[in-house]
Amino acid sequence: MASAQVTGTTAQRPRARGGARAHGRARDWAEIQERMLVPLYQAVYERLEVGAATSLLGLGCRSGLSLLLAAERGAQVAGEELDTELRELAQGRRLRVSHPGHRDRSSGPFPRTAYSLVTLFELWQAPFLRPPGEPERSVALAARLALTGGQVVLAGWGPPERCESAVVLDVARRRAAPSSGCDPFALSTPGALEALLTGAGLRPAGGGRVNCPFAYPDLESAVRGMLSTGVYEAAIDDSGAALVEKELEEALHPFVQPDASVRMANLFRYVVAEKVR
C-alpha cells in the first residue's frame, strides 16, 4: 500500500517571465501546502467510514495526498488531475491518477466506470471556478461517476470572516483583471454547495465544518505554499510575479509568530450528497 508520507520529485518547474516562478508550482503544493487540508480529508473519511468496502475517485486530486490517506484506510482509490506536474507527482506515489480527458475504462476491479464515493475536495481552486459554469460541470461529472446509492463530497472555504487566509487570498483578486480573476470564497455562501449538488440530481445528506490551520515554518514557505494553490496565477499574469509576491508577503506579515513561523486559522466546509438514481 502507498504511504501518505510527502516525498519529493525530480519534476522540473517551468520558469515564468523574468525568471520568476509564476507557474509549475506542483512541488510546492506537494511538499508544503497539501498537508494543510489533512484535517478535512480525515474528517470526511471518518464520517463516511471509508475503508475496504469503498471505491473512491478523487476529481482534481492534485498530487494525491487525499487518495493516499483513503488507501491507508483500505479503500481502493483512483484520481483524475488536469495539471501534468501534479499528476506525475501523484503517479510517482504509485497512485492511479489519469488525465480527465483520458478516462480509463479498461476491465478489472480498478479503474472502474463508477465509484461508491467521488470527492471534489479542491472545488475552491482556480481551475474549478474559471471559466464560468465550471463548478456545475465538475459536479455533474462527479454525479455521473458515482454509483447509484453512492456519495459525492464537495468541499470549500468556510465564511471569509472565519478564515484568516481571506486577506491573503484577496491579493489574488486585487491584482488580477476582473475578467480573469477568481474568488475562492464564491462557494462559501450558505447553500452554495448544496445548490450545486441538487442541480446535478444529487440529494444533500449533511456535512460539517473542519478547522484547517495553515502553518508554515517561515515566511518564504508561506509565500510558496499559498502561490502553489493556483489562485494567484491570473494575478501573476496580469500584474507580474514580483508585485504579487511582494503584496503576498505584506499580507502574511500579521500572521508571523515570535519564532518566525506563520500561522493562519481557517475553517473549511464540506457537504455529502447521495446519488439516489
The residues spanned by each domain of the chain are: 22-163+183-216+265-274
Phi, psi (deg, nearest 5) at residue 74 = 100, -5
Is the pLDDT score of 109 beyond 70?
Answer: no
First to last CA, the chain: 33
Average pLDDT over the chain, rounded to whole?
A: 88
Is residue 170 predicted with pLDDT exceeding 80? yes
pLDDT digits (tens, 9 = 90+) for 49-88: 999 999 999 999 999 999 999 999 999 999 999 999 999 9
Instruction: Output the nine-digit C-alpha cell for 152.
Output: 459525492
Given this model, what pLDDT does residue 193 score? 96
Could you give the CA distance from residue 105 to residue 103 in angstroms, rounded to a whole number?
A: 6
Q: What is the mean pLDDT of residues 159-175?
A: 96
* pLDDT of 9 over the 50 cut: no
Q: Write down the pLDDT at residue 124.
A: 83
Q: How is domain 22-163+183-216+265-274 classified at the CATH fold level?
A: Rossmann fold (3.40.50)
Per DSSP, the residues of 57-87 read EEET-TTSHHHHHHHHTT-EEEEE-S-HHHH
- Using CB atoms within 10 A of its CB, is residue 130 exposed (0-12), middle (13-18) or buried (19+)? middle
More confident residue, 111 or 92: 92
Which of 86-90, 124-128, 235-239, 241-245 shows the lowest mean pLDDT across its residues? 124-128
Q: Please tell me the predicted confidence (pLDDT) of residue 129.
A: 72
